[in-house]
Structure 1
Amino acid sequence: MSLHQRNGIWYWRKMVDGVLFNRSTKTEDKKLAETMAKKWEHEAVKTVVYDGERPVTLYEAIDSFLGERKHLPSYTSASQHMQHWKNALPNEKMKSLQKHKVQAVVTRRLAEGAAQNTVSVFVTYWNALVNHCKANKLSPGPLLDRVQSKRTRFRIITEQEEAAMLAATCPNAKYPGKTATSDAQRQDNQDVLVCLLHLGARINEAQNLRWSDVDFANNTVLVRRLKNGDDTLLMMTKALRAVLERRYATKIDNWVFPTKSETYKAHAQWVTTVAKRAGVDFEAGKVTSHTFRHSAATRLLRAGMDIRKVQQFLGHKNISSTLVYLHAMPSEVAAHAVSVFDGS
């Protein structure tokens, strides 16, 4: 049995089939330390020899998990959630993490005001990490109880609110703290808002647009959809083309928005800040970057576009993802149905 003492505390160190185990007994009592070491040695042999698992720390497991996902569109989201787990838990062996302590992190995030749907994804990523360990013969941590996601109310931007938000990002306006840098930032924000609505884009899809995907000759933009969606080749509206032509005249690399691209890992909270500055009514619901995608879909449906065409516009793989927009405006759908049956 490999016990050694350091600063009065007994430490256990053991190599099993090339895998090194090293733990503190946190006690000065040698007999107690020997009892703990026997138990740990038995567990180590079972883990390595019989179960064939390799013990890993939390950080090692996360690095392995993210390494497997570097090529996926969800990598940025996974990295952000995994960083939260790194910040919340000590870098202990996954096998030694107790469920109640890991579950406490979830409870704490909810108590601190994190959105339930955000926490739901947070937990889903943890369980995906545990399953990754199991699949790769790494000692896993505990699976957590799922947090049920909430169906959120669709917030639609009216044309008046859209105009107010574009005005609130106008770089030529007079405002406190006006500088050349803040003017450039306002222009970037205004241009991204146009892309969000006119492309039905998610924030990362808009901020990561590349010039190689813009074809002025054919008046098209290729939107590389995230979440396993279908990439979409869309025609440019006049407003979108004006934005892209202006930006192209001063382009510095292949990014349409160099300061917001994945190189800088730009956040999306600024959309809510702009909405507040524009005086948008939050009683009707919170305004986020995704509100513009909802608004684009709803405007197309209200204008009479077929649901299948809206699905293609948004890049949804499954029609069920698009049908939620019909559910979001039941009175309009019902009125349309009545007019059809009444022949009016």
Structure 2
Amino acid sequence: MEVKKKLLDLVRDKIRFKHYSYSTERTYIHWIKHYILFHHKKHPIEMGKIEIELYLTKLATNDRVAPTTQNQAFSALLFLYKEVLGLDISEWNIQALRAQERKHIPVVLTKEEVREVLQNIPSEYSLLVHLMYGCGLRMSEALNLRVKDIDFGFDKIYVWDSKSLKDRTIPLPQKLKAKLLEQVESVKLLHKQDLKDGYGNVFIPYALEKKYPRSKLEAKWQYLFPMKSISTDPRTKEKRRHHVMAQTLGRNIKVASQKANLNKRVTSHIFRHSYATHLLQAGIDLRSIQELLGHKSVETTMIYTHVVSEMNKAKVISPLDF
């Protein structure tokens, strides 16, 4: 047990050294623990290709995990062996049974359904969810917006270092401009009070914090959608104001969809799907939508052409109705 504890500490140190997110840290630690326990607490340095294949196959056959989950577990093991143990297992030609991948057409909401859900979102999260739909933002992108990311002069929103590692700008919805101005002023007032109370610092990406050590106390770096209370950073143990929690927002979106009496499964990502589909229906070209969504490949964006195609099928009249 002592050896395993030291190993996990090494994994945490390497993850933090490479500036991976806290959620990635928790995920990798989970899968590495799971892998070790599956092999009866055997140290990974004593295991290799066969043990990895057995574990990944077990995830697909016994646990019936989704392909993305199996890939996540494999990524954690790649990180463990390459970054921590110094072994490049990508050369081992891992031949595990892969989880069956199924192509899903995204569920989208009609414009009316979007309005119904938005009307039922609590006021404190209303602007945030409006922005997710109005800009096609991922939940993480919306939550990580800072005051400085809203450019009222050029009516643009900056999204930095998103999932695709491709920074982009998105047109600022004019209907939200006045409320966003109010939100910025509200954040500035809250920040001013936090400074008086002995807080007021905010998480800053590591490289920037070293370059601009005072930036964490500046109003422009504060989250656009902050939490109601001060919290403790799980890594540094510093007390500061973080952004709204993803679980809290997701729960409120689910409740709002229930109040709207929708039969569709509504998650935060459905607003992004709906945004892309509605733009396509409005005649916006696919390449522009790709750039707005921040997709690396246009093939990823093409899924929305299938969504529109399915919608058009619904307009076909049955012979019974001729």
Task: Give the gaps of 5 or more residues in structure 1.
Answer: 1-21, 24-54, 172-186, 336-344
CA gap 1:275/1:242 in 2 versus in 1, 3 angstroms: farther
Q: 2:119 aligns with which of 163, 167, 181?
A: 167
Q: Secondary structure at the match of 1:250?
A: helix
Equivalent residue, structure 1, for 2:308: 329
Q: Return the structure number with greater helix share.
A: 2
| Mapping 1:93-242, distance limit 5 Å | 93-96=43-46, 98-99=51-52, 102-103=55-56, 106=59, 110=63, 116-133=66-83, 136-137=86-87, 145-171=97-123, 187=124, 189-242=125-178
CA gap 1:305/1:192 in 2 versus in 1, 3 angstroms: same
Q: 2:184 aligns with which of 229, 245, 248?
A: 248
CA gap 1:76/1:298 in 2 versus in 1, 3 angstroms: farther
TM-score, normalised via structure 1 length: 0.62
Q: 2:225 aligns with which of 257, 279, 297?
A: 257
Deviations, residues 271-330 of structure 1 (Å, cap 9, x unaligned): 35533443356644x221111111111110000001111111112222112112112222
Q: Secondary structure at the match of 2:158?
A: strand
Q: Distance in 2 between matches of 1:309 and 1:294?
A: 15
Amino acid at match of 1:291: I
Task: Give the gaps of 5 or more residues in structure 2.
Answer: 192-218, 229-239, 315-322
Q: Distance in 1 between matches of 2:29 and 2:164?
A: 23
Percentage of pairs with the same residue: 21
Q: Distance in 2 between matches of 1:276 and 1:232?
A: 31
CA gap 1:146/1:259 in 2 versus in 1, 3 angstroms: farther
Q: Residues 214 and 220 of structure 1 are in contact (CA less than 8 Å); yes or no, is this contact kept in structure 2?
A: yes
Q: Residues 118 and 256 of structure 2 are in contact (CA less than 8 Å); yes or no, is this contact kept in structure 1?
A: no
TM-aligned CA deviation for residue 194 of structure 1: 1.1
Single out whichever of 204-213 and 95-104 deviates more from structure 2.
95-104
CA gap 1:282/1:121 in 2 versus in 1, 3 angstroms: farther
CA gap 1:264/1:101 in 2 versus in 1, 3 angstroms: farther
Equivalent residue, structure 1, for 2:232: none
Q: Distance in 1 between matches of 2:308 and 2:241?
A: 34
Asked if 1:59 corresponds to 2:8, the answer is yes
Amino acid at match of 1:255: Y
| Mapping 1:304-343, distance limit 5 Å | 304-331=283-310
Amino acid at match of 2:185: A
Asked if 1:290 corresponds to 2:288, the answer is no
CA gap 1:161/1:320 in 2 versus in 1, 3 angstroms: same
Deviations, residues 45-84 of structure 1 (Å, cap 9, x unaligned): xxxxxxxxxx9964145225523531x5xx3442231142
Q: Distance in 2 between matches of 1:109 and 1:84?
A: 18
CA gap 1:291/1:225 in 2 versus in 1, 3 angstroms: farther
CA gap 1:135/1:304 in 2 versus in 1, 3 angstroms: farther
CA gap 1:201/1:237 in 2 versus in 1, 3 angstroms: same
Equivalent residue, structure 1, for 2:245: 266
Deviations, residues 127-162 of structure 1 (Å, cap 9, x unaligned): 42245248834999x966543443223111222322
- Over alpha carbons, which structure has the higher Rg? 1
Q: Secondary structure at the match of 1:328?
A: helix
Q: Residues 250 and 268 of structure 2 are in contact (CA less than 8 Å); yes or no, is this contact kept in structure 1?
A: yes
Asked if 1:85 corresponds to 2:31, the answer is yes
Q: Secondary structure at the match of 2:246?
A: coil
Structure number with higher relative contact order (C-alpha < 8 Å, ≥ 6 residues apart): 2
Q: Distance in 2 between matches of 1:203 and 1:265?
A: 11
TM-aligned CA deviation for residue 196 of structure 1: 0.8
Q: Distance in 2 between matches of 1:281 and 1:127?
A: 43
Amino acid at match of 1:63: R
CA gap 1:63/1:275 in 2 versus in 1, 3 angstroms: closer
Deviations, residues 200-248 of structure 1 (Å, cap 9, x unaligned): 1111100000111112122221122522243222221123313311211
